[in-house]
Chain A
Amino acid sequence: MRREPSFRLEMAKKKAEEFLREEGIETLPIDPFAIAASRDIVVEAKPDTAEGVSGMLLRHGDNFGILYATHVPNEGFQRFSVAHELGHYFLDGHIDHILPKDGIHASRAGFVSADPYELEADSFAAGLLMPTAPLNV
């Protein structure tokens, strides 16, 4: 039985907030680059040339990397792109979404995606960068 999509998205957001709690991250702004570094995920800016892809999660054996696009010169956009890829890394079950493509996953911003995995990664990114607790002061 499939769960309601809205429930899954809420859970993805909660997972991000739970992660911040577990890591003791309580102050804004949240740094997705530091979170990636804490898991030995190498994060690098992607050369400007290829437009359309806003972020990529790469896996090679036990090593992981994230590439983020810079063709949109906006820090918020880039932070969200990295946080979205972290969603694919931290969310349960996303291995079934990423691995069949042989360990390389590309996310395209600006597309309205109906893919539940992509929507979950977006919700995770929102919960990670805009968690309820620190904003609720």
Chain B
Amino acid sequence: MTNERPPSEIFSERLKAARELREWSQSDLAGRAKMPQSSIAHFEAGSRKPSFDTLRRLANALEVTTDYLLGRVGDPVLPKRVIHSIGTSES
């Protein structure tokens, strides 16, 4: 835990990565997330830190998880869940 970077710092990198993954410009993303393009620029440059509310809005617009934008998972989208498995290797 000691040398961990603050979540907001990781967020600025991941936001840019996710936007480029979608091949969107900053204004494309701004339009979809309904916020000014300057906000996206500030978030990516790290000069503004997001709130949970903006984090969620951006994740929704990008169709990625908030965990991806926070650097907690490597995959941008939710894994397909195994709802229930019977008779697999557990026994």
Contact = CB atoms under 8 A, between A and B. Distances in A.
A105 to B, nearest CB: 10
Contacts, number: 51
A98 B8 CA distance: 11
Contacts of B55: 95
Given A95-B7, A96-B6, A100-B4, A62 B59 contact: yes
Interface string B54-89: 111001000001110010000000000000000000
Interface residues of B, number: 20
Interface string B4-19: 1011100100000000
Interface string A48-82: 00000000000101101000000000000000000
Which are the 5 A-B pairs with shortest beta-carbon distances?
Answer: A93-B49, A96-B6, A99-B7, A89-B52, A95-B7
B12 to A, nearest CB: 12
18 contacts: A61-B66, A62-B59, A62-B66, A64-B52, A89-B52, A89-B53, A90-B53, A92-B48, A92-B54, A93-B8, A93-B49, A94-B52, A95-B8, A95-B49, A95-B52, A95-B55, A95-B70, A96-B8
Majority secondary structure of chain B interface residues (helix, strand, loop or mixed): helix
B16 to A, nearest CB: 17
Interface of A: 39, 59, 61-62, 64, 88-96, 98-100
Contacts of A95: 7-8, 11, 49-52, 55, 70
A39 B67 CA distance: 18
B1 interface: yes
A88 B49 CA distance: 13
Contacts of B50: 92-93, 95
A88 B59 contact: no
A127 to B, nearest CB: 15
Nearest to B56: A62
A93 B42 CA distance: 13
A98 B66 CA distance: 14
Nearest to A96: B6
A103 to B, nearest CB: 10
